[in-house]
Amino acid sequence: MSFLPFTRPSIDEATIQGVVEVLRSGWITSGPKVKEFEAALSEYFGGRPVRAFSSGTATLEVALQLCGIGPGDEVITTPMSWVATANVILHAGARPVFVDIDPVTRNIDLDLIEAAITPATRAIIPVDLAGLPVDRDRLYAIALKHKLRVIEDAAQSMGASWHGQRIGSFGDLISFSFHANKNMTTSEGGCLVLNDDSQIALAEKLRLQGVLRAPDGTMDVDVAGGKANLTDIAARIGLGQLPHIDAFTERRRELARHYFSCFDRSLGCQMPPENFTDSNWHMFQILLPLDQLNISRGEFIEQMRQREIGVGVHYPAIHLFTLYRGLGFREGDFPHAEKIGQETVTLPLFPDMSLQDVERVCVAIKEIIKSAHQ
């Protein structure tokens, strides 16, 4: 029986051949394919300006710079995300202010945000965990009331929507990741959806050393930019992926529905919200009933591996990492995030899976948990 990973990119032969053509062209760094990819993304997001970057982390960093956020500022975010969401705030010289999550959606609890706002608060960075969108109506109502910027960490949200509108087609600044484990990939990369054309020039300078080139070959630097440009190789992968994103999303929803139909609810696992309208089902995550089992999560994962099934952990609570404990955060600060961070496991879910693969995963979980009940 072959190993079933928790995720795997779906890349067709036409895309592979397209990458070969880019390699043969001799132009493999940022060039015509990046421009073509940005134009395609802009069309996908309803005509909004888009710039591509080397990672979804870089897009968040640039978004913070575009908002003028720096030392002395505070940015509200969730402790339940990939650590990059908080790290970029530290890199900007600002302070992350965590707000606990809703135990059902596992997204930032909007009921708790206003209590965390201080005179130093400049922005909110929400995260759509596993591709389930945060309530955009309530989020932007809070931001408008308190005059805050919103930088959407939509790293997991490609293909998701809110009340029929694509995530990225509306809102303030929206950051996407195209990492290898995302719903569409460029191997590594990301994009930032901007508000208007006036932000393009600065975003471009910030992604490549602050350089401004003149037609006569001279250049100037008036801002300290970084090195975060996307390559044409990566852009060609993205151009091959983007036309399939809707089909990828529908297939993920089909697989998620099959998980719900096959999963034995008597095992005591907490299931994710059954949202098949807005969520892109980037991940399918269950919570293990560890208080009822005589094995740890690590032992559960190992037993799944012994059955040739890969399982991920997304994510440990950020505030319990050593770096953030050093900033004064402690166990007990955000109990919902801590509980979910300790119990969550990510099950295999990607478009090339079969329904039989889902059934195989469900059988394996049932065998392990049934034998591990105290």
Indicate the pairing of strand 121-125 with strand 74-77.
parallel
CA 96 vs. chain centroid, Å, equals 18
pLDDT for 1 beyond 90: no
DSSP string of 150-185? EEEE-TT-TT-EETTEETTSSSSEEEEE--TTSSS-
User: Residue 350 has what pLDDT?
Assistant: 98
**Span 16-26, pLDDT tens digits:** 999 999 999 99
Burial-class residue 178 by CB neighbours within 10 Å (0-12, 13-18, 19+). Answer: buried
User: Residue 373 has what pLDDT?
Assistant: 87
Mean pLDDT value across residues 232-257: 98
User: Would you give the DSSP letter of residue 271?
Assistant: P
Closest CA to 329 of 339, 319, 337: 319
**Rounded distance between C-alpha atoms, residue 307 and residue 363, angstroms:** 10
**Span 278-315, pLDDT tens digits:** 999 999 999 999 999 999 999 999 999 999 999 999 99
DSSP string of 336-366? HHHHHHHHEEEEP--TT--HHHHHHHHHHHH
**Rounded distance between C-alpha atoms, residue 21 and residue 233, angstroms:** 9
Residue with tokens 């968040």: 60
Are both 13-243 and 245-372 of the same fold?
A: no
Parse the chain into domains and list their residue ranges: 13-243, 245-372
Q: Does domain 245-372 have CATH number 3.90.1150.10?
A: yes
DSSP string of 80-100? SS-THHHHHHHHTT-EEEE-P
**Rounded distance between C-alpha atoms, residue 162 and residue 155, angstroms:** 15
Which of these is catalytic: 33, 182, 205, 370?
Answer: 182
Burial-class residue 222 by CB neighbours within 10 Å (0-12, 13-18, 19+). Answer: exposed
pLDDT for 172 beyond 80: yes
Return the H-helix or E-strand segment holding 34: helix 32-44
**Rounded distance between C-alpha atoms, residue 154 and residue 163, angstroms:** 16
User: Residue 374 has what pLDDT?
Assistant: 66
**Rounded distance between C-alpha atoms, residue 334 and residue 170, angstroms:** 30
**Span 29-72, pLDDT tens digits:** 999 999 999 999 999 999 999 999 999 999 999 999 999 999 99
The set of residues, in sequence order, having a beta carbon less than 8 Å from that of 269 and lying 6+ positions away, is: 263, 286, 287, 288, 289, 365, 369
Measured over the CA atoms of residue 149, residue 150, residue 155 and residue 160, the dihedral's sign is negative
Q: What is the CB neighbour count within 10 angstroms for residue 121?
A: 20
pLDDT for 362 beyond 90: yes
Whole-model pTM?
0.97
**Rounded distance between C-alpha atoms, residue 65 and residue 225, angstroms:** 10
CATH T-level topology, domain 13-243? Aspartate Aminotransferase; domain 2 (3.40.640)
Is 182 catalytic? The answer is yes
Residue with tokens 């910030």: 206
